[in-house]
Homo-oligomer: A and B are copies of this chain.
Amino acid sequence: MTAPRAQIARAEVLCRERGVRLTDQRRRVLEILCAAGRPVGAYEIMDAMREGPRVVAPPTVYRALEFLLEQGLIHKIESLHAFVGCDHPEHPHSSEFLICLECGGVAELKDDAVERSLESVTRESGFRPRRRVVEVMGTCAQCAHKEECARKEEADRSPGPVD
């Protein structure tokens, strides 16, 4: 939940340090992702870019996304065919994502227990891991709370059979 501005600034620094170019197009895509604060599809990004000076075609967006993925500045959410900005891109990593099916929000976790258990189970089977995809879909705390409240209110109005 870093401020979008700060995220961009950090990305600038990282890219300079690494000797790679955060070009206008790439920064623009990153800005859109960070500002959204939720998963955004490639074509939605493209639409957002149309607002700007130039019209862009799919390959432009996908190339920018490829770069940002390589630099660990964003992540791809496989189960949504969408992308999100990374909250701590200092060193590239795989993360765990909690995806709310109600509000579409996504939280990026970094849980050692999950990583350790995955590490050990892959090791045991002689598997050499390269990339991890961990995506849990369900209902986030906020939405669960709202649901709870709605149910409660409902019950108050008509105190029918206690379930």
Cβ-based interface call for A2 (8 A): no
Residues in B neighbouring A129, C-beta threshold 8 A: 98, 136-138
Query: What's the nearest-Cβ distance from chain B to residue A75, in Å?
Result: 12
Stoichiometry, as copies per complex, reads 2
0/1 per residue, A43-85, Cβ < 8 Å to B?
Answer: 0000000000000000000000000000000000011000000
The reply to whether B139 and A127 contact each other, CB–CB distance below 8 Å, is yes
0/1 per residue, A138-159, Cβ < 8 Å to B?
Answer: 1111001100000000000000
Cβ-based interface call for A131 (8 A): yes
Binds B, one of A3-11, A27-35, A116-124: A116-124
Query: What's the nearest-Cβ distance from chain B to residue A99, in Å?
Result: 9
Interface magnitude class on chain A: 35 or more
A134 nearest CB neighbor, chain B only: B134
The reply to whether A144 and B121 contact each other, CB–CB distance below 8 Å, is no
**16 pairs from A and B in contact (CB 8 Å cutoff):** A78-B133, A78-B135, A109-B121, A113-B117, A114-B118, A114-B121, A118-B136, A122-B136, A127-B138, A127-B139, A130-B139, A131-B137, A132-B135, A132-B136, A133-B134, A134-B135
Query: Which A residues form the contact surface with B (CB < 8 A)?
Result: 78-79, 96, 98, 100-101, 107, 109, 111, 113-114, 116-118, 120-122, 125-141, 144-145
